[in-house]
Amino acid sequence: MITLDHVFKYYNPALLILNDVNLKIEAGEFVSLVGQSGAGKTTLVKILTGEERVSTGQVIVGDWDITDISRREIPYLRRQIGVIFQDFKLLPKKTLWENVAFALEVCGENQDKINRVVSSVMRIVGLEDKRDRYPHEVSGGEQQRAAIARSLVHQPKILLADEPTGNLDSINTNEIIDLLLRINNFGTTVILVTHNREVVNRLKKRVVTIENGSIVSDQKQGKYII
């Protein structure tokens, strides 16, 4: 599903961000990518979504070699990879329903499909009764669930969650993690990027640890011990 082969990333000759990263993630896995701030997690996320290119090495997503992906191909890549961020990135003047629908509208989908898909993903994340609320009218956990619904509209094979619980309390954090597990049970590959030790250790899933741009640990049912 995802392969990084001898990946190096320099921002200038003296600034090495990723150092010979080799990583393979199989379809349907749930992987926690952990490490302290500045370890290289964010750069790795940007490479997987096409926002950054590797300096050397190879990156494959599915059957697609994205090492030298062109700008015009990036939107197609991002339909295969749903991305969730820490800050939700919801449009404040649109309802939760409209925020989710907007991801399909910009792709030119017809209204019947939009209604069908948005209804489905809003049901998956448990927001059917909040569809007409605006982001400021719901909790942080509900905003993040709306963001997850938006990330699912293209039925991505991969869901990349970049610090999705960073702005949430413990109750909402647990609800979001439970939702990610449900989505994973549908067969979606989930990559959770986090520094939350409690979340990672509770999951008992595969843990990949990055330190100073290198993978220093890869455990099938590991713990975050840094």
pLDDT above 90 covers what percent of the chain? 79
SS3 state of residue 206 = strand
Helix axes 140-151, 170-185, angle to 10 degrees: 20
pLDDT tens digits, 69-117: 998 999 889 888 999 988 888 999 999 999 999 999 988 999 999 999 9
Ramachandran angles phi, psi of 220, nearest 5°: -65, -40
pLDDT, averaged across the chain: 93
* Residue 187 exposed, middle or buried by CB count within 10 Å (0-12, 13-18, 19+): exposed
Calculate what percentage of the chain has a pLDDT beyond 70: 98
Quick: pLDDT tens for 179-209. Answer: 999 999 999 999 999 988 889 998 989 999 9
For 62, the token pair is 């599915």
| The token pair that represents 64 in the structure block | 């697609």
**Amino acid 221: pLDDT:** 73
Backbone angles phi, psi at 130, to 5 degrees: -115, 15
Question: Average pLDDT, stretch 19-27?
Answer: 97
Considering the domain 2-90+156-219, what is its CATH architecture?
3-Layer(aba) Sandwich (3.40)
Tokens of 218: 């890869």
Give, in order, the Cα–Cα distances in Å from 189 to each of 23, 92, 130.
Answer: 14, 29, 27
Q: How far apart are CA 215 and CA 25, in angstroms?
A: 14
Tell me, what's the pLDDT at 223?
65
Neighbours of 111 (CB within 10 A): 10
